[in-house]
Chains A and B, each alone.
Chain A
Amino acid sequence: MHLAQLRLRDFRNYQRLDLRFGSGFHLLLGNNAQGKTNVLESVYLLATLRSFRGVGPAQMIRHGSPGFFVGAEVVGHHGCLIRYYWSMKERRLSVDQEPVRRLSDYLGLVRAVVFCTEDLQLIKGSPRFRRRFMDLLLAQTEPAYLHALQQYVKVLRSRNALLKAPRWDQATLEAYTHSLLNYGNQIMEARYRLVPKLLPLAQQAYRRISGDDEGLECAYAPAVREDFQQELARLASRERQFKTTLLGPHRDELQWSLKGRSVSEFGSEGQKRSVVIAMKMAQAELLTQHAGTPPILLIDDVMGELDQKRRSGLLPLLDRSHHAGGQVFMTCTEENWPRELGRRLNRWIVREGTVNPSSPH
């Protein structure tokens, strides 16, 4: 699967951008603040309808415009034409001219994995980042997961509203508790299934990046120990005191360790970077296995931050994506682009909101 065409209107610093691509490597070269990452962000937006920079859609509108438009032509098993317009007043998402009615029908048409500096939050940040990592992967590989998660979030909001209300009815709370247990257990079962699939891929990737086997392990640490229902019942009085739901998969953790020691607590800066890249490579690999074709890889300046050895660990992944007809977009400044990638690159020069092909030299 790859994007054959990308059209941006009033998106970030692009007033108007029309690009056509083939599959393979695309290197976006340019100085800082010229709009390299914005191109990656627009592709990621098509895949997830979110920004990987952790901002809302309003911040992706070009200054002074009412809204942005992102359009793309996808080539592959599910070739289609996607159009997405967003403004404060109106949002329109269509596939082949048909409006999209359900999110679950849309997600999966464009699959993308991003490698960016914000990824370090996967290790350094709060457990929320690691839960989102699991959620994103499961939503893309297990059809029922997204529904269970959306329902769980709704139940949780309702249940918390009940606990916060000045007075509430015990039977109503029990009704919402019943739904909480139902969807919560589905989510936990899916997360239990994920880890044994994820870990070997992350270990393999980590060995490639770090050059040696440092004993990478990952463990799913659910907030619920054994029985959700019993443990939640024991918290009843504390829930009344804190006025919020104190147990459930919204408090889960995914722990990463090297030789038995927590990476976030004891890992060196370099180890943290390597583990994060191994996580993302495992994600890309899992999505490839699931769909049969590799996702679009979006690599934002991380290569520049890695030393030669760690960089070369990423190359097999890029190579495989290339052979399988995938697509890779990578941003770099002129001085630090990874020359070892060879000559099969499409180079694009990004300057002040314009993107132009450049002949290889």
Chain B
Amino acid sequence: MPALPLTLIELKAALNRLPGIGPRSAERMALHLVQGPKEVIKQLTDCMQKASERVQICHICGGLTEEQPCQICDSPGREPGLICVVVKPTDILSLEKTGSYAGHYHVLGGHISPLNGVGPEDLNIAALEKRLDQSEVQELILALGSDVEGDATSYYLAQRLGRQGLKITKIAQGLPAGSDLDFADELTLNRALQGRIALDHEG
């Protein structure tokens, strides 16, 4: 098979470095781009240029934003006493989609991971501590995942940030919404049992 032109190979290699794009997809995308109308390329490069110039990290919560501070941090309608701690900026999007959370966020930037050489000093914890010192926060919700590193990081934060008048909670784990017990694996059921909640009743 004759080799691709050098510039095309370079384009393919660049696309291949993007997350979720394997060599086959990268090749298809590269071939599509160079054979298509020039405007498409122009539009794509403009968008990328603009996005990379404008999108920045909110200096309060660490989320992605175009202005400082971000809309969520700046919103007067949000509960000031509630902060949800997440690992990465995209976690905010997931929680926002639920539409049922009206507090603020704080992006940690990772887990404490001794195997990857990530210690607490590498995470955005000092800024969180400052937020707790400077404003009246009543509850800190930890939404850091349920793997080993998520658990250890949650425990660490609870120990370090615990103080008078601050409630620290961890999001629950259990059955997926609308699902039947038949479809749950034993581990999930086990967790759901441990995290059971009391029902109110009369008398």
Contacts and interface: CB of A to CB of B under 8 A. Distances in A.
Contact of A143 (B115, B148, B156, B187): B187
Interface stretch (A43-51, A150-158, A274-282): A150-158
B115 A168 contact: no
B186 A144 contact: yes
Contacts of A176: 114, 152
B114 A162 contact: yes
B71 interface: no
A104 B149 CA distance: 20
B120 interface: yes
Given A155-B148, A159-B114, A147 B187 contact: yes
Residue among B147, B153, B156 with the highest chain A CB neighbour number at 10 A: B156
Contacts of A104: 185, 187
- Taking residues whose C-beta sits less than 8 angstroms from the other chain, chain A's interface range is 20 to 34
A61 B156 CA distance: 45
Helix, strand, loop or mixed for chain A's interface? helix
Contacts of A175: 112, 152-153, 155-156, 159
Interface in B116-134: 117, 119-121
A169 B120 CA distance: 8
A172 B187 contact: no
B150 to A, nearest CB: 10
Interface in B167-190: 185-187, 190
Interface in A130-189: 143-144, 147, 151, 154-155, 157-159, 161-162, 165, 168-169, 171-172, 174-176, 178-179
Interface string B133-171: 000000000000001110111011001100000000000
Given A158-B149, A179-B151, A105 B156 contact: no
Residue among A157, A168, A169 with the highest chain B CB neighbour number at 10 A: A169
Given A169-B119, A171-B159, A172-B119, A158 B185 contact: no
Contacts of A172: 112, 114, 119-120, 152, 156
A104 B115 CA distance: 24
Nearest to B186: A143
Residue among B114, B147, B159 with the highest chain A CB neighbour number at 10 A: B114
Contact of A144 (B114, B156, B160, B187): B187
B113 interface: yes
A158 B113 contact: yes
B187 A179 contact: no
Contacts of B117: 165
Contacts of B186: 143-144
Contacts of B119: 168-169, 172
Given A104-B187, A155-B148, A171 B156 contact: yes
Nearest to B153: A175
Interface in A99-145: 104-105, 143-144
Contact of A158 (B114, B121, B155, B160): B114
A147 B147 CA distance: 11
B105 to A, nearest CB: 22
B160 A171 contact: yes
Nearest to A182: B151
B152 A144 contact: no
Contacts of A155: 148, 152
Residue among B117, B151, B153, B190 with the highest chain A CB neighbour number at 10 A: B151
A98 to B, nearest CB: 15
Contacts of B149: 158
Contacts of B148: 151, 154-155, 158, 179
Contacts of A143: 185-187, 190
A166 B76 CA distance: 46
Nearest to B146: A151
A174 B159 contact: yes
Nearest to B158: A175
A178 B151 CA distance: 9
B146 to A, nearest CB: 10
Nearest to A156: B148
B156 A158 contact: no
Interface in B86-131: 112-115, 117, 119-121
Nearest to A150: B148
B155 to A, nearest CB: 4
Contacts of A151: 148
14 contacts: A143-B185, A143-B186, A144-B186, A147-B187, A154-B148, A155-B148, A158-B152, A161-B114, A168-B119, A171-B120, A171-B160, A172-B114, A172-B156, A174-B159
User: 4 nearest interchain CB pairs?
Assistant: A143-B186, A175-B156, A161-B114, A175-B152
Interface of A: 104-105, 143-144, 147, 151, 154-155, 157-159, 161-162, 165, 168-169, 171-172, 174-176, 178-179
Given A169-B120, A174-B156, 8 more contacts: A168-B114, A169-B119, A172-B152, A175-B155, A175-B156, A176-B114, A179-B148, A179-B152
